[in-house]
Amino acid sequence: MLPSLTFVLGGAASGKSRIAENILINSGLNLVYLATARIWDDEIQDKVKLHRARRGPEWTTHNAPVELAEIFDLGTPGQAILMDCATMWLTNIMLDEHNLEEEQTALLAALARCRAPVVVVSNEVGQGIVPENALARRFREAQGRLNIALAEQADHVLHVVAGLPRSLKDTRT
């Protein structure tokens, strides 16, 4: 049985999405994928194609670069929802110049209301160098705050390094 909220955190290309997908696949529930990426260039397009091919047709996909609450509100106990990923969602929020605090509060509230178990994937961005420009530094700080809030609300938190998950928090045990 999946916890209400699982948070899967890791660096870029660490294997976190594959691990998150497997958590949902192994649940036996109906699979729902919440895609937050916007296709800006060929690199993102290729990554999206890779993810789609890996998931296969058993997933119901919703493209939701910003507006997630409606999909979480429609979640049922017979489903499991994967939000991939919080980092792309935050990027969209910042580039669209939404109010970060309001949007984060709304996201956390929607996750709390959701009747389906949810797995959220996010990038750990605080272990690298200090970015050279103000926007990148602002993003890093906002991502750190979002990750802290998601980890606090989650029942289960996994950190993925080199395709290996390590449990950081599990309130089920």
Residues assigned a catalytic role? 51
Q: Provide the CB-side half-sphere exposure for 168 (13 A, CA).
A: 17
Q: Give dist(CA 139, CA 45) in Å, integer.
A: 22
First to last CA, the chain: 13
DSSP secondary structure of 129-158: PPPSSHHHHHHHHHHHHHHHHHHHH-SEEE
Strand duo 156-161 + 118-123: pairing: unpaired
Query: Taking the CB of residue 138, how many other CB atoms lie within 10 A of it?
Result: 13
